[in-house]
A and B are shown apart, each in its own frame.
Chain A
Amino acid sequence: MSSTINDTAGTGIATGIGTGTAGRAYWACVDSLTLVRRTLLNYRRRPSAILWQLGFPIVSVLLYGFVFGSAMVVPGGGDYREFLMPGMFTMTMAFGLMNTAAAVVSDSGRGVVDRFRSMPMAPSAFPTGRSLSDLMIAAAELAILAATALAIGWTSDGGPGATALGFGLLLLLRFSMIWVGVWCGLVLPNTEAAGALYAVIFPVTMISSVYVAPTLMPSWLAPVAAWNPISSTVTATRELFGNPGAGGGSWVEQHAVLMAIAWPLALTAVFLPLAVRRYQSLSR
């Protein structure tokens, strides 16, 4: 930095841009955490935002659980609300894709991403910070949903280890959705288009084991629903929480826990590089 024009406009502040690998890694962490802080400050100023995001699953729990509940059949018997809760947890994680996409598209559309990229901050901090904060929000959402579930009589009979693993799988699904969401957010032109993602996500969550067991669907639809990545997480958490309706005849339903790990990893393996490449290609 020898050939600079003197900073005479203000306090003459010099910036620390990391030099060397260690310096860069340090600032990459600091910058990511600063962006996490930004998200948390946003929620602190508008705590109601998180409740709005939870509105849909909570209303779904009440509607499906109490309005349709008595008409719903759980294969192998059991309480529908117990059956439904792992589906609601999973659906909330899957819908998180839209929150990520909306946050990214609003930053890129209003020039915030351009400003970040014109600053000496670590380029990786934008996606990393996004994924860290979205995971934290997802954990908070799960905590609120689980409290609601407990209030209407849901319990996990799986023991602490299995229960923890179940919530771990839910967060793993959310993690893969972050990268799908970042990619969508960088590809889509504006927040309206990001809102239209709903039209895709909603049917995808319906054609899964979230509300109804695939065995009760028409024979042509059942395998589609069973192989839906969302179904694997739903079935795996039902199994781990000891909730009814976990079973199913097909291979994918028999190996739900394995698939609830494999699917998100596969999605991440595809969409994380896509998202990073898209972010880098902004300069082309």
Chain B
Amino acid sequence: MPEHAVLAEGLSKRYGKERRDDVTHALDGFDLAVRPGTVHGLLGPNGAGKTTAVRILATLLKADGGRAEVAGVDVARDPRAVRAHIGLVGQFAAVDEGLTGRQNLELFGRLFHLGGRRARVRAAELLDLFALTEAADKGAGQYSGGMRRRLDLATSMILAPAVLFLDEPTTGLDPRARGEVWDAVRTLVAGGTTVLLTTQYLDEADRLASRITVMDRGRAIADDTPDGLKDRVGGDRVEVVVAERADLPAARAILARIAGADPRTDEAERRVHAPVTDRVAALTEVARTLQEERIAVEDLALRRPALDDVFLRLTGGRAADEDQAADTDREEVAA
């Protein structure tokens, strides 16, 4: 078993014409190492090079420089052998909408050279695994977005590949369908598949990935566990939301004294927060003091920084997905 399920060293990819001086460096010395049996998140803003990286690793695109191995096989030297070990789920559900779910799986099973009988058996297994048995004989064109995605995932799992590439698998899905896809991914990983997941949804990477590589401008700019990344923007913090805006200065003073750091205030939200080191002790002390001084509190919590904070810090303020960032965290980040 190779040490890494996916390994990329100094991958580069240019688009455009050198002479005309409009070269885009989609990848510019990209490094990646994915341990077998894990979900590895590849996170970055639009145009960071995530999809280009996945396409090179999945043998769809040739790199201009650097090297890459998938399941121990060099992608440039032996793409055919790599293809026997990978599954790919792209940004669109690559299913034949004119066929039923079962026919789709049987078709792709035959194209994976299983032969008719084994293709049928495998199709039935996968329909069951992805909770599609009931809809198996309905046309895939009538499937919901989440079902179509599950069929897509099932198709990529026909050969039980060692490595599965998921390129923004939940883009455009509603929250419930996203949950269905996440469950399906967890099932796969429990079975031993290594997953490389590109996403611009930070919460998705946070929930699924045990390690995250942050990409920007064609390079990996950070590689760590989700917690490790969060630690980079400072550890936990105590956060107080007061009931009356008039109490904000008092709450701020309490926090400043206990945390020993300068708290940040959000007037509109009636919120004040400060980083703490001795987490629970600080929280207890803040709670006790607020009660003593009879300050009415709406919310009091120990919070970890969100991946959004990490992301904004690392990419210099350019959000992965501006709506997403705006929705989940309205605070300004200390830069």
Which residues on A are within 8 Å of B, measured CB to CB? 1, 3-13, 15-17, 27, 30-31, 34-35, 37-38, 41-42, 45-46, 109-112, 114-121, 125, 282-284
Q: A3-B71, A10-B125, A13-B114 are in contact. Are A118 and B160 (CB under 8 A)?
A: no
Q: Could you tell me if A111 and B62 are in contact, using CB atoms closer than 8 angstroms?
A: no
Which residues on B are within 8 Å of A, measured CB to CB? 1-2, 5, 36, 55, 58-62, 71-73, 80-81, 83-88, 90-96, 98-100, 103, 107-108, 110-114, 118, 122, 125-126, 129, 139, 155-163, 188, 191-194
List the B side residues contacting A7 at CB < 8 Å: 159-162, 192
Q: Could you tell me if A115 and B160 are in contact, using CB atoms closer than 8 angstroms?
A: no
14 residue pairs A–B, Cβ–Cβ below 8 Å? A5-B5, A5-B162, A8-B160, A9-B191, A11-B125, A15-B114, A31-B111, A34-B110, A41-B107, A111-B90, A111-B92, A118-B59, A119-B111, A283-B62
With both beta carbons as reference points, the residue of chain B lying nearest to A115 in the complex is identified as B94
Q: Could you tell me if A6 and B1 are in contact, using CB atoms closer than 8 angstroms?
A: yes
List the A side residues contacting B62 at CB < 8 Å: 283-284
Bound CA span A73–B210, Å: 78
With both beta carbons as reference points, the residue of chain B lying nearest to A116 in the complex is identified as B111
B23 smallest CB distance to A (angstroms): 14
List the B side residues contacting A17 at CB < 8 Å: 80-81, 83-84, 113
Q: Could you tell me if B118 and A38 are in contact, using CB atoms closer than 8 angstroms?
A: no
Known: A10-B129, A42-B98, A120-B80. 17 other contacts (CB 8 A): A3-B71, A7-B160, A7-B162, A8-B160, A10-B122, A10-B126, A13-B160, A38-B107, A41-B99, A109-B92, A110-B93, A111-B91, A111-B93, A114-B60, A115-B90, A282-B60, A283-B60
Q: Could you tell me if B112 and A10 are in contact, using CB atoms closer than 8 angstroms?
A: no
Bound CA span A119–B108, Å: 9
Bound CA span A120–B163, Å: 14
Q: Could you tell me if B60 and A13 are in contact, using CB atoms closer than 8 angstroms?
A: no
Q: Could you tell me if B2 and A120 are in contact, using CB atoms closer than 8 angstroms?
A: no
Bound CA span A110–B104, Å: 14
Q: Could you tell me if B88 and A118 are in contact, using CB atoms closer than 8 angstroms?
A: yes
Q: A3-B73, A5-B1 are in contact. Are A15 and B159 (CB under 8 A)?
A: yes
With both beta carbons as reference points, the residue of chain B lying nearest to A35 in the complex is identified as B111
With both beta carbons as reference points, the residue of chain A lying nearest to B36 in the complex is identified as A5
List the A side residues contacting B83 at CB < 8 Å: 17, 118-120
List the A side residues contacting B111 at CB < 8 Å: 31, 34-35, 116, 119, 121, 125
Q: Could you tell me if A119 and B139 are in contact, using CB atoms closer than 8 angstroms?
A: no
List the B side residues contacting A3 at CB < 8 Å: 2, 71-73
Interface of A is mostly: loop
Bound CA span A10–B161, Å: 9
Bound CA span A268–B325, Å: 53
Bound CA span A272–B96, Å: 25
Q: Could you tell me if B122 and A11 are in contact, using CB atoms closer than 8 angstroms?
A: yes
Bound CA span A115–B86, Å: 11
Bound CA span A1–B193, Å: 18
Q: Which residue from B81, B100, B113, B156 sits with its C-beta under 8 Å from A27?
A: B113
Bound CA span A112–B125, Å: 22
Q: Could you tell me if A15 and B112 are in contact, using CB atoms closer than 8 angstroms?
A: yes
Q: Could you tell me if A114 and B94 are in contact, using CB atoms closer than 8 angstroms?
A: yes
Q: Could you tell me if A10 and B191 are in contact, using CB atoms closer than 8 angstroms?
A: yes
Q: Could you tell me if B88 and A1 are in contact, using CB atoms closer than 8 angstroms?
A: no
Q: Could you tell me if B112 and A119 are in contact, using CB atoms closer than 8 angstroms?
A: yes
Bound CA span A197–B62, Å: 31
Bound CA span A41–B86, Å: 27
Q: Could you tell me if B98 and A110 are in contact, using CB atoms closer than 8 angstroms?
A: no
Q: Could you tell me if B72 and A121 are in contact, using CB atoms closer than 8 angstroms?
A: no
List the B side residues contacting A284 at CB < 8 Å: 61-62
A22 smallest CB distance to B (angstroms): 15
Q: Which residue from B59, B71, B107, B129 sits with its C-beta under 8 Å from A5?
A: B71
B325 smallest CB distance to A (angstroms): 27
Q: Could you tell me if B90 and A114 are in contact, using CB atoms closer than 8 angstroms?
A: yes
Q: Could you tell me if B160 and A16 are in contact, using CB atoms closer than 8 angstroms?
A: no
